[in-house]
Amino acid sequence: MSEILWSEKQKATWRNKVGLAEMLKGGVIMDVVNADQAKIAEEAGAVAVMALERVPADIRAQGGVARMSDPKLIREIQDAVSIPVMAKCRIGHFVEAQILEALGVDFIDESEVLTPADDRYHVYKHDFKVPFVCGCRNLGEALRRIAEGAAMIRTKGEAGTGDIVEAVRHMRTVMDEIRRIQHLPIEELMTVAKEMGAPFELVLEVARKGKLPVPNFSAGGIATPADAALMMQLGAEAVFVGSGIFKSKDPARRARAIVEAVTYYDDPVKLAEISTDLGEPMMGISARSLPEAEQLAVRGW
Amino acid sequence: MVKVGVLALQGDFEKHIETLDRLQVSSVEVREKSQLDKIDGLIIPGGESTTIGKLLVRYELMEPLRNFAKAGKPIFGTCAGAILLAKEIEGSNQDRIGVLDIAVKRNAYGRQIESFEADIFVPKIGELPVRGVFIRAPIIKHVKDGVEVLSRFADNPVLVKQGKILAATFHPELTNDTRIHAFFLSLFSA
């Protein structure tokens, strides 16, 4: 058998980055603020945890500038669980991203939930070995982020509200735009690319394949197993749950139920069982009642 | 004609189905124990082994899967799938099917930034290498008698077979190369 040397491997390839996103499909990524919550999430069956100092609902309530978490907290969470650990950097804050990469986080979320560090530009994510996930509200925004190097996309929703309406709107928008461009003659696609502000080559690829070139997850407002199943039926390939779990009455139970709902998202009989007797969900606020200054989803360029 | 089940509780099961499609083999996503009677072999995909293990327990698939293996039906596990098949998981008491005589260590190459690709030689399927895509991959630390090592990378076994159970620590389903899946299918008639 020919021997392949250890040094002949190629690390952190594009396929490695998108590959990790592929492995998370059909799973739930849960926001946690300490090692105990991380263990509860892992025990419930989370495929990954997002290490944060405050969940979005608290960022909303308390205000102020939201930044990358303290490395101490991230390390404690990394030590507590065996599943992948993600962490957030501010939009455009490539030094926070460098620090998160140095900590060995498994995925960086360049997130609108934190206060943006740059009001014009995002991080150039191809420069990093660690994969990135970014939020989007529409296909153009998704393709801009992918062109910058995002290995996973999540529709934004409106984080910290417990209201699913924005998540639904963003997922429908992306899926509708994908369906629409599949049926357009090729000569129209350059203008489509110009209008959505997306790279022409990526528009061509999506039109041909009928899907994004990286996995598309859903975030921002999921509070119940039914919410999670709704997003899966609308085309999400996995879900992020932020405040919805640890702001509910019985986080362990709800976390477990949401994990099961993502697996059996198109089985209403099982979903009825899964949704039974979970205790109170997070209170939530209507996303449509938020003034624009308090909307997180509009952050991103 | 054979029908291959792909365990679809969580993970990259769609990628396995795409690979089987390229081989023109009919496949079905498996989420219920009753489906095991209707398939000739099963693929356990990559994903999070802890998540899949918990769902196997909650939805009462663990014992039926052990019986499936005992009946001599072919099973192929990639990465998390290999972990779930292993009898021993170093330093972990996580739920597993435990039908393959190997000991594995999870995330043994390191965190995601240590994930890598490398050419892997599998003499059984031909001279040309396959591209091994390793993602937070486990390492197979020991294999017991009766387990055949089909390929190694830097001394560690990365593709092993025991009877009709095949396990890879990498992801052939993430490449366009169908040879390892074709080899798995050859076990159906062997």
Whether B173 is a known active-site residue: answer yes
Q: If you average pLDDT over residues A188-195, what whole number do you get?
A: 98
The 3-state DSSP class for residue A224 equals coil
| Average pLDDT, rounded, for chain A | 96
Write the pLDDT tens digit of every residue in A115-166. Answer: 999 999 999 999 999 999 999 999 999 999 999 999 999 999 999 999 999 9
Given a cut of 80, whether residue A4 has pLDDT beyond it is no
Let me know if B126 is exposed, middle or buried by CB neighbors in 10 A (0-12, 13-18, 19+).
exposed
User: Which range of residues forms the domain containing residue B159?
Assistant: 3-189
- What pLDDT is attached to residue A7? 72
pLDDT confidence of residue A49: 98
ipTM of the complex in this document: 0.97
The CATH number linked to B177 is 3.40.50.880
- Do residue B115 and residue A11 have CB atoms under 8 angstroms apart? yes
User: Do residue B153 and residue A4 have CB atoms under 8 angstroms apart?
Assistant: yes
| Tens of pLDDT, residues B140-185 | 999 999 999 999 998 899 999 999 999 999 999 999 999 999 999 9
What are the tens digits of pLDDT across the range A36-66?
999 999 999 999 999 999 999 999 999 999 9
The closest alpha carbon to B119, from B152, B76, B79, B161, belongs to B152
What residues have CB less than 8 Å from B61, skipping those under 6 apart? B9, B33, B55
Is A88 a residue of the active site? yes
Mean pLDDT is lowest, of A38-52, A155-169, A217-231, A287-301, for: A287-301
A101 → chain B, closest CA residue = B113
CA distance A252 to chain B (A): 14
pLDDT tens column, A11-25: 999 999 999 999 999
Per-residue pLDDT, averaged over A162-182, amounts to 98
Supply the pLDDT for residue A43. Answer: 98
Mutation target for A interface from B12, B112, B136: give the one with most A CBs within 10 A.
B112
Q: What is the pLDDT of residue A2?
A: 53
Q: Distance (Å, rounded) from C-alpha A67 to C-alpha A10?
A: 33
Name the token pair of A224.
């119940």
Give the closest of B31, B107, B112 to A130, CB-based. B112
pLDDT of residue B168: 98
User: Looking at A173-182, A290-299, B71-80, which range is the least confident one?
Assistant: A290-299
Chain A CA closest to residue B48:
A47
**Would the CB atoms of B112 and A82 count as touching at under 8 Å?**
no
* Count of domains for chain B: 1
Separation between Cα atoms, residue B150 and residue B69, nearest integer Å: 20
